[in-house]
Amino acid sequence: MYRLTKLWFAFSDLLAWALLAFSLVGAIVFPFVGPIYARMAQQSITTFTIIGTCAIWLIVAAGAYAITRRKALGLVLVLAPAIVSAISGQIAFALAFAVAWAVAFVTPFLLAFFQARLAATSKPAA
């Protein structure tokens, strides 16, 4: 079980680093690209929308970094887009997003928890 936990944490870390990089690039680029895209799609975009979107990207980046540092708070932070989508009424997307991230990020934490619990409750041979 130790090998599975270690392998899953390696996969989770790889995914978290990629998510961190993608989120930071998104937060930096969106103030420039967002209004251009909105103009091309003939939609209006406000400064509040730009700031809110960049804040979501930065929250996800902070969560991804926290996951690489094995902090459980990062699990909540990377779910910020799912929470926003659920509030917006896109329940199916929010659930699919949350399940995908739960499988990728929560599973290694659960495996480590069960492994530690098993080690704590097992009695040493006398």
Per-residue pLDDT reduced to its tens digit, 78-91 = 999 999 999 999 99
Task: Report the pLDDT value the prediction gives residue 125, as an integer from 0 to 100.
Answer: 61
Confidence grade of residue 126 (pLDDT, cut at 50, 70, 90)? low
Q: What is the pLDDT of residue 71?
A: 92
Rounded to 5 degrees, φ, ψ at 120 are -75, -30
Structure-block tokens of residue 52 = 């809110």
**Distance from the Cα of residue 22 to its chain's centroid:** 11
- Quote the CA–CA distance of 77 and 74 in Å, as a whole number: 5
Q: Do residues 25 and 84 make contact, with C-beta atoms less than 8 angstroms apart?
A: no
